[in-house]
Structure 1
Amino acid sequence: MPDLYVGVDVSADALDLARSDGRAERLPHDDDGLARLAESCEGAALVVLEATGGIERTAAAEVAATGVPVAVVNPRQVRDFARATGQLAKTDAIDAAVLALFAERVRPEARPLPTDEQRALAALVARRRQVNEMLVAERLRLRTAAPAVRRGIEAHVAFLEGQKAEAERAVAEAVRSSAAWRERDDLLRSVPGVGAVLSATLIAELPGLGRLTGKQVAALVGVAPLARDSGRLVGRRSAWGGRAPVRAALYMGALTAARMNPTLRAFYAGLVGRGKAPKVALVAVMRKLLVALNAMVRDGRRWDENRPVTA
């Protein structure tokens, strides 16, 4: 009997399910529908859902609780796969069928779902980032604000500064509440250039750190150079895609490390001295820093200037 693969398209009100054996059904997105979804997925080799802003989490957890492998995938990958198969139409039922076919043909790796604690930390880190973005925007507006609105913007800036400080305290408390997170935070922050924000972001948004190869973690974050060659054309390598929040925090960490970390400062200066553009050199520092952090977590050792890190 062939393996069973299941695709589930999750919306706010419904769960559309398609199986590789041809069975399909639409279930309500409520407790009864979630229970029936878990029953329909019993015995599956793999169940695939798209990441849809968090509304897929309950369905994924319900299925995973039965012991069935679950993969939550990037919607862009699935849409590109659908186009490659000639499927241009898009409905919830079609999306579920495409997900089932994607599960059968591509077989994405099933990874453990984040725990409640991991989701809470990720939410706190994301909230701190959102508040900071609003704060930057308001400070920029304040520079050219007319007198009629300046007072209101100043009050909003003060409020956002308080919210940012509160979010940072909450993140720090969450990290301290876990012995494993405390140990990882201490290890990560032993690197000159890695501060509280980057450390918390890596703990929350990159739980696989230390379990991947250097190439895998660089590609996952989006700092691996990708080739664009065809025939005699040798295109410029560029880094893109990956986990944007991690990449943004890593960029700020690399800026500091390129000045404060002797090893990475020398690496950056060497690249610039050989004619690399400063931004290209900084992306290389990001990659080197990330690969070093991945190896440190893997080996369980702190940063040591005199001991090179092996990817």
Structure 2
Amino acid sequence: MNDITIGADISKDHIDLHSLPDGQTLRVSNDRKGFATIVRWITEKGVARIVYEPTGPYHKAFEQFMMAQGLPLSKVNPRLARRFCEATGRLAKTDRIDAELLARYGQLLEPRTLKANPQIHNDLKELHAARLALIKDRTATKNRANNLTSPLLKRHNADRLAQVERQLKAVDHAIMTMIGADASLSARFDILVSIPGVSQITAFTLLIEMPELGQLDEKAAAALSGLAPMTRQSGRWNGRAFIAGGRAIVRQALYMPALVACRFNPNLKAKYHQLKAAGKPPKVAITAVMRKLIILANALLRNKRKWTPKSA
């Protein structure tokens, strides 16, 4: 394979591509005809990776088509890509420039390539995105109820809340049905719910939002979930460590299980009280328990075994 890196800037109507080190460029329409043109364009290149940013609904068809062709894709965080662009001193921003800078980002930093996701994971991801939107809608509807005085609007608001609850149940049932119909996902789900404090909702959130679980080492699992502490040190100064980055949805899903684990999981309960006794703030101790939970889930999935309490 030649060391060719392609940057792809994806917009609603078209895709701009830039190839390095040869510097060739291409613009195609963002549709199947354009995707086929891209495949023909790179057939002779022996591409190491195609680097692109997620752009809402506009990148999904491109991603699925290229994965079906077996091409190496690297989906990078837009914030990190933008900071890389700023570090190069390029202040201008156009689609062609963005494609070139994405290619340079991929060539220098070699971001990891995606593994092909089966269609079931794409369907689950779509259902879970709808579920998160419904939860936001439910919260907004409940908050709105506190400020309404008109009887008509109160009835409308109550009807909307009941509708959201019905839709949430339907989405949850669809997610559980899909997981139950897949032997691999069902086995992974059973392992996760065996951990004290991990509910069905938390389990399917981890399966959907962090499918890499079970294939990572401890540090990578903590970092990917955004629960790895970031050290701050310069000369003689030592700042307070903090967590940053990672997948916010995973962190949010682990917060309540961590609170439950602090009470009912003997090992994590001992860890929590140990940190509190050492003078750590409660939030820091809970974050440490969340990190332990994701590391535990990763280890159990890697070893394909359910949680069992440690013998005294």
Same fold by TM-score greater than 0.5: yes
* Partners of 1:41 and 1:47 within 8 A in 2: no
Q: Please state how far the C-alpha of 1:233 moved relative to its aligned partner.
A: 1.4
For residues 227 and 173 of structure 1, the distance between their equivalents in structure 2, rounded to whole angstroms, comes to 43
For residues 2 and 71 of structure 1, the distance between their equivalents in structure 2, rounded to whole angstroms, comes to 17
Task: Label 1:72 to 1:112 Cα distance change in 2 as closer, same or farther (>3 A).
Answer: same
Name the counterpart of 1:41. 42
**Structure 2: runs of 5 or more not aligned:** none
Deviates more, 1:289-298 or 1:239-248: 239-248
2:271 aligned to which of 267, 272, 288? 267
Per-residue displacement from partner, 1:49-99 (whole Å, max 9, x unpaired)?
A: 111124212223333333332111111111111111111111111110011
Q: Please state how far the C-alpha of 1:300 moved relative to its aligned partner.
A: 0.9
For residues 57 and 138 of structure 1, the distance between their equivalents in structure 2, rounded to whole angstroms, comes to 31
Q: Please state how far the C-alpha of 1:137 moved relative to its aligned partner.
A: 2.2
Q: Determine if the alignment matches structure 1 residue 108 to structure 2 residue 111.
A: yes
2:87 aligned to which of 77, 84, 105? 84
For residues 78 and 208 of structure 1, the distance between their equivalents in structure 2, rounded to whole angstroms, comes to 22
Name the counterpart of 1:223. 227
* Partners of 1:41 and 1:63 within 8 A in 2: no
For residues 128 and 287 of structure 1, the distance between their equivalents in structure 2, rounded to whole angstroms, comes to 25
* Partners of 2:219 and 2:228 within 8 A in 1: yes
1:168 aligned to which of 166, 172, 177? 172
For residues 248 and 119 of structure 1, the distance between their equivalents in structure 2, rounded to whole angstroms, comes to 21
SS at match of 1:15: strand
1:50 aligned to which of 40, 50, 53? 53
* Partners of 2:229 and 2:241 within 8 A in 1: yes
| Paired residues, number | 308
Q: Please state how far the C-alpha of 1:31 moved relative to its aligned partner.
A: 2.0
Q: TM-score, normalised by structure 1?
A: 0.94
Q: Please state how far the C-alpha of 1:5 moved relative to its aligned partner.
A: 1.1
Task: Label 1:307 to 1:130 Cα distance change in 2 as closer, same or farther (>3 A).
Answer: farther
* Partners of 1:41 and 1:68 within 8 A in 2: no
> What is the identity, as a one-letter code, of the residue corresponding to 1:160?
V
> What is the identity, as a one-letter code, of the residue corresponding to 2:5?
Y
Deviates more, 1:102-111 or 1:263-272: 263-272
* Partners of 2:216 and 2:298 within 8 A in 1: yes
Q: Please state how far the C-alpha of 1:307 moved relative to its aligned partner.
A: 6.1
Name the counterpart of 1:18. 18
For residues 143 and 274 of structure 2, the distance between their equivalents in structure 1, rounded to whole angstroms, comes to 35
For residues 127 and 66 of structure 2, the distance between their equivalents in structure 1, rounded to whole angstroms, comes to 26
Percent identity, please: 39
SS at match of 1:87: coil
Q: Determine if the alignment matches structure 1 residue 201 to structure 2 residue 202.
A: no
Task: Label 1:2 to 1:183 Cα distance change in 2 as closer, same or farther (>3 A).
Answer: closer
**Following superposition of structure 1 onto structure 2, how do residues 1-311 of structure 1 map, counting pairs within 5 Å?**
3-20=3-20, 21-42=22-43, 43-148=46-151, 149-306=153-310
* Partners of 2:2 and 2:48 within 8 A in 1: no
> What is the identity, as a one-letter code, of the residue corresponding to 1:70?
L
SS at match of 2:173: helix
Deviates more, 1:174-183 or 1:298-307: 298-307
* Partners of 1:71 and 1:111 within 8 A in 2: yes
> What is the identity, as a one-letter code, of the residue corresponding to 2:15?
L
* Partners of 1:125 and 1:200 within 8 A in 2: no
Q: What is the aligned-residue RMSD (CA, Å)?
A: 1.7
For residues 163 and 133 of structure 2, the distance between their equivalents in structure 1, rounded to whole angstroms, comes to 14
SS at match of 1:203: helix
SS at match of 1:45: strand
Q: Please state how far the C-alpha of 1:200 moved relative to its aligned partner.
A: 0.4
Deviates more, 1:144-153 or 1:250-259: 144-153
Q: Please state how far the C-alpha of 1:2 moved relative to its aligned partner.
A: 6.1
